[in-house]
Amino acid sequence: MSIMQYASKFIELSRFVPDFVAIERMKMRGFEEGLAFHIRHQLSSQPIHSYQDLYERAVDRVEGHKPKPEPSKEEVD
């Protein structure tokens, strides 16, 4: 599951526990606890102050570790 899919499902399911996500810190903690350990570990070294910031940094971590596509033959020539 991608970070975007996870975030979408997290928001969708959070409507069933409005008290849990009413406080930004609790919302962030719940989202972070559902992330894979290696992503949580990478995020733990930086101060994060909002849910949006947490989401964006998680996406950046995953996107930054995807293999780069091979250059096309036209790009190499």
Confidence of residue 77 (pLDDT cuts 50, 70, 90): very low
The DSSP result for 20-48, as a single string, is HHHSHHHHHHHHHHTS-HHHHHHHTTS--
Please tell me whether the overall predicted TM-score, pTM, comes out greater than 0.85 for this model: no
Cα–Cα distance between 77 and 66 in angstroms, integer?
25
Kindly report, residue by residue over 11-53, the tens digit of the pLDDT.
Answer: 899 889 888 888 888 888 888 999 989 888 888 888 888 999 9
The gap from C-alpha 3 to its chain's centroid, in whole angstroms, comes to: 5
Q: Which residues are CB-contacts of 57 (< 8 A; sequence separation ≥ 6)? A: 43, 46, 48
Whether residue 47 contacts residue 34, with contact meaning beta carbons closer than 8 Å, is answered with no
